[in-house]
Structure formats: structure tokens, C-alpha cells
Amino acid sequence: MSDIRAGRLSDAQLAENFAALQPPMDAAQAAVEAARCLFCFDAPCTEACPTGIDIPGFIRKIATGNLRGAAVTILRENIMGGTCANVCPVEELCEQVCVRNAAEDKPVEIGRLQHFATDHLFRSGAQPFTRAGDSGRHVAVAGAGPAGLACAHALALLGHRVTVFEARAKAGGLNEYGIAAYKMLDERAAREVEFILGVGGIEIETGVSLGRDVSLDALREVYDAVFLGLGHNAVNALGLEGEDLAGVHNAVDFIERIRQEDPATLPIGRRVVVIGGGNTAIDVAVQTKKLGAEYVTLVYRRGAEDMGATEHEQEVAQTSGVLIKHWAQPVRILAAGEEAGGVEFEYTRYDEGGRLAGTGETFELPADQVFKAVGQHFAPSPFQESEAPEMDGSRIRVDEERRTSLEGVWAGGDCVPGNDLTVVAVQDGKLAARSIDRYLRR
């Protein structure tokens, strides 16, 4: 019999568990950290940033007390620089290439300084951007996630009117629904959306899904251009016996519940098994532990160096009490009546050809709840009733300007080839907006 129930921890324990992993810097700490920057010419950190933020530039402004200027420098290139300060894998991007990142030193804490600067601006309520005069052009954006909102904001600044169609009840996409709650505190995602809309010229219609409520053909007919920021809309299945048992969940769905519901009301098992090796797997494993699960085991079919989750994320899991077990793949979900009772795994290894193979030796892990975190993908269902853009595998094919094969249609974010990162999605939206502007002004 499974042991799944809500209220495993007190409200005080939950509040402590879901606090920020690192408290924000205060002014004195930010000044000291900013002084460590060497303000490199042709700075490698700027080169490593997918959105090209002038990192030495904004840090110099912090060092001189110009916090508003620092925030504007960030947001001019990455309108979601506040979110990215929390969720970007800085340890593999800007901080990785910091010239101070050596054995006898440590990199400048760029992410925390970015958080400090953008938070100052958001708290002030100031709107530093001014929209250009109305161009008379109207663009449709499908999807109010990072790519769609970045595109909409850039287009609005250039004077175009934008209508964003969002299938969910709230705008924000992954930032609102899919990021671990302890990474995005204090309604930060909603505050960022409000800031973006503050520039004017952008209307968001929620509860409108492309392919269900409106067709791509109709958007192309009514609007001067269309941007598709559809993200991932399907979750990969394990394809195993027992996958439909009660207590087996998609990790992304449960993460959404943690963000949208009161954590104290969420039923959680005493023994949890997570299958996967990416950041989503880490996020659900850490959060189930924070919700009061006694034993949380994350199982990945390859070694630690092959995991999609960064070394930092793996360390967060391990220091949060999650056991990570490598070199094992699921064989079947074990039943306890109509509910999940455990998972049978097979040990794996690389064969002589370098391919992953099972060893034939198995073991079982008891579990009240099993979370599947084996990836997501884009399914072209939104185009069933319309002319569809060309696909690159399971994603929409685009060129360097994020143009699709369809005239007047651009795309970006997780629905196109590339790294599934918020910062990359923002860059896609920004580049597409510039291309759309050139197209509209021809």
C-alpha cells in the first residue's frame, strides 16, 4: 500500500525549504563583488552570453552606484534578464569563462550581480523603455513564453502593435509554470510580464490555443507577420509496463502544480523515484524532497558526465538529500494493486561499439510515486488545419533570422532546434523581432 499524503511538513518547514538557495546580495556585498571584475576588453563573459549582454558594462555601473543604468544595460539585450539571473546555467556560460575562474580564485558572481541590478529596477517601478511611434503594423505572436514575450517587447519598442495568443491562463510560459519554485520566488515571473507589458502596444489574449481556437492560416491572413513561440507541447513517454498506474506522474506536470498550488496541499510519497537526468529531473527530485519525501532517488541510464543537468544542479540535488544513481535504465513500473509500488531497473554499460547496452542484471527500488523526466518535444498538432512550416525532425526549421519556410512567419524558443534555455529563447525572440521589423519596413 502506497504512502502518499499531503501535509508531511509544517508551514514553517515548507517556507524554509522553499526559500532561495542563496539570499540576494545587499548593496555592500554587490559593491565588493563588482570591484572584483577586471572589466576586460573583448570580455569572454559577454561572448559567452547568448544574448550578448555587456557584462563588464553593467558591473562597472554597479561599482559606481548607477543601479538603474546597470539594469537597463542588462534588459536592453535580455528583457528577461531578471529571470535569467536566477535560472541561467552561468557556471557553464559567462562565469565559466570569467578570467578569474582559476584554481587560486573564483569567477565574479555575474548571476547574483545581475539579480541585484534588475531587482533594484523592478522594485522602483520605473519603466526605462519608450515605445516608438505607431508604425501601423500589427504582428501576432503565438505563445507568451520567453521567446514570444521577448519578440513582442522588441516589436513594441519599434512601434508595431502586437497581440499575443496564449493557451494557458497566465503569461510567462516556462518561467511561470516550469521552473522550480525555489528558483523563482515572490511572483517574479508575473512581475516580469507586467514590466514587459508596461512599454505599451502589447495585448495578451489568454486561453487561446493555436490549432484549437485560431489557425495559423487565419493569423497569416489577418496580421502583417506571425511569430511562433510555442515551446514544447508534448512529454516523452517511457513506453513501459505499468506507466499508467496511479502514482506515476510526468515531472513537468507536477512542477507546474508546485508553482500554481499551495505546496502544503500537495500529496507526496514517502519513497520517490525520479527517472531522467536533465534539469527537470533535478527540479522535481529536489522539490519532492523539500515537500517531505523521506527517500528520493534519481536514476539515470548513463554516467554523471552525460547528464543533461549541470554539475551545479547535480550538486544542489545531492546537498538537498537526493540520491543520484547512474548506469541503470527502467524496465517496468511495479504494481501494488492499482498503484505504483516500485520500479525495476537494469544496470547499463557501454558496449565495445560505444553504445549503451543493458547488462541483464536487474534490481528493484520501492516507490510510492514515480516521476518521468525523460524529455519533452514539440508536436506539430497546432498546424493540423493549416499550411505547416517545414520541420527539422520534431522542431520547426528556421534560418539564422528565425524565419520559417512560410512567408511572413518566424519561430523561436524550444519549438526550434537549439539549446532549451530561457536565455536562448529570449535571443530567438529578439532576433526574430529585428527580422520582422525589416520585413515590415521593406
DSSP string, 63-76: HTT-HHHHHHHHHH
Residue 67: which region, alpha, beta or left (left: phi > 0; alpha: psi -120 to 50)?
Answer: alpha
Give the CATH number of domain 22-124. 1.10.1060.10
Residues of the chain with CATH 3.50.50.60: 138-233+378-440, 235-375
d(CA 400, CA 37): 33
Amino acid (one-letter) located at 276: G
Please state the CATH superfamily assignment of the domain spanning residues 138-233+378-440 in this structure: FAD/NAD(P)-binding domain (3.50.50.60)
First to last CA, the chain: 67
Crossing angle of helices 110-124 and 67-77, in 10° steps, is 110
- Give the pLDDT confidence score for residue 1 in this predicted structure: 66
Task: Name residues whose C-beta falls within 8 Å of residue 21's C-beta, 6 or more positions apart in sequence.
Answer: 182, 183, 316
CATH code 1.10.1060.10 region(s) in the chain? 22-124
d(C-alpha 140, C-alpha 278), whole Å? 33
366's enclosing H/E stretch is strand 356-366
Q: Cell numbers 534490481 correspond to what residue?
A: 363
The phi, psi pair for 263, rounded to 5°, reads -55, -30
CA angle 396, 398, 401 (to 5 degrees): 145
CB neighbourhood size of 102 (10 A): 9
Task: Determine the Cα–Cα distance for residues 196 and 179; give it in Å rounded to an integer.
Answer: 19
- Sign of torsion over alpha carbons 409, 415, 420, 421: positive
- Of 190, 192, 198, nearest to 157 by C-alpha is 198
Report the alpha-carbon distance of residue 256 to residue 152 in Å, rounded: 24
C-alpha cell at position 135: 508604425
CATH of range 235-375; options 2.40.50.150, 3.50.50.60, 3.90.76.10, 1.10.8.640? 3.50.50.60
Q: Which residues of the chain have pLDDT under 70?
A: 1
Q: How far apart are CA 224 and CA 221, in angstroms?
A: 8
**CA angle (390, 393, 397) in 5-degree steps:** 35
